[in-house]
Amino acid sequence: MSVLVVNSGSSSVKFQLVDPESGESLASGLVEQIGEPEGRIVLEYRGVETEKRREIADHGVGLAVAFEMLADAGVALGSDVTAVGHRVVHGGEIFYQPTLIDDAVLKQISDLSSLAPLHNPPNVLGIEVAREQLPDVPHVAVFDTAFFHTLPAAASTYAIDRDIAKAHGIRRYGFHGTSHEYVSQQVAEFLGRDDLNQIVLHLGNGASASAIASGVPIDTSMGLTPLEGLVMGTRSGDIDPGVVMHLRRSADMDVDAIDQLLNRQSGLKGLAGVNDFRVLGDRIADGDDNAKLAYDVYIHRLRKYIGGYMLDLGRLDVITFTAGVGENAANVRGDALAGLEGFGIKIDQERNTLRSKEARVVSTDSSAVKVMVVPTNEELAIARAAEKLVQNID
């Protein structure tokens, strides 16, 4: 039996059929170019890739076509799937455990859209379509914010009027929690220790950092929304809030325009015009000064968080890189940790440049702090969480 995992994100829909016991991916697919005249739906099943091109008005249409492709490929979702696990970005203060979805829960997730306007609405669309397609299968929401629900008050509290904060649910929630939890657990298993002090760096188009002590998160870089923290592909990360007021007053930009700027047109894209790290690297090699500055800003912010979390943890055992950039960009790992030998952090250049899809140590044998690369697998983590909840209900 298997679990269908649906990740209906801000600009695409990813789906995967997972065996939660073995961890094997039985089928996977992607819906992209949503809202464009010629969208793309790709399905890989039993080593065969099929593709459809058609107009995809929204996430719901794309996911419906994906279900059709799965059926055409011979995947009997109704009988083979024990649960559907949905990645939901924002759970607010309401949801911090995997949750069985009914109409009331779906409405609450939708009501939280003001906290994640780019993410929760497509999450809701994905859930609605999947429930229509598989009405007799339990659907489970797994929240990005859940792992960080227990952050210490000093780390989760913004220094604003406490009554206003309470009335509007304003606190630091943190995101990518499923990935940070999964990767930190993998590191603990790999090293055979459950008392590790870890820094986990989830570096993809979205990027976040966390400080984890003995499996418990004590800080993370994202806050009320996924905008706070590290420089990202299209997001600014940390920024003086005064910039928002300044743009409103001097550029006559409304809230939606500023939101679009900071979430969609900033970060690497805002500085260099591209948010793909491979293209950025090519431009740097060609002598593009804007691309080089974007990279330098990215690394500068990353190093600030690493240093801050080293102090938060007091004793540091492991720094782990994960997600697309973290797993594949050896230069990012090397530059982020350059010159930290005095803190017991020593990268082995040969190990660092070796490409592998397996969890591995890339620090020297004499490094007091281990540096690791661990592939994340949010789909497997969501599948196991959904399966566990359904089994407990049964």
Pairing of strands 139-143, 81-88: parallel
Q: Identify which of 320, 331, 304, 335 has the alpha carbon closest to the alpha carbon of residue 375.
A: 320
Q: Tokens 């107009």 identify what position?
A: 55
Is residue 256 among the annotated active site residues? no
Spatial distance between the Cα atoms of 162 and 171, rounded to a whole number of angstroms: 10
> Which sign does the torsion angle of CA 249, 253, 259, 263 carry?
negative
Q: 3 with 83: CB under 8 angstroms?
A: yes
Spatial distance between the Cα atoms of 169 and 270, rounded to a whole number of angstroms: 30
b/e map 210-246, b = 16+ CB within 10 Å: bbbbeeebbbbbbbbbbbbbbbbbbbbbeeeeeebee
Sheet containing 318-322: order of strands: 216-220, 207-213, 197-203, 318-322, 370-373, 360-361
Strand partners, 30: 14, 42
Q: Tokens 């800080």 identify what position?
A: 219
Spatial distance between the Cα atoms of 164 and 98, rounded to a whole number of angstroms: 29
Token pair for residue 184?
């930190």
Spatial distance between the Cα atoms of 332 and 268, rounded to a whole number of angstroms: 14
Burial class (CB in 10 A: 0-12, 13-18, 19+), 297: middle
CB atoms within 10 A of CB 161: 10
Catalytic residue among 144, 219, 317, 335: 144
Residues annotated as catalytic are 144
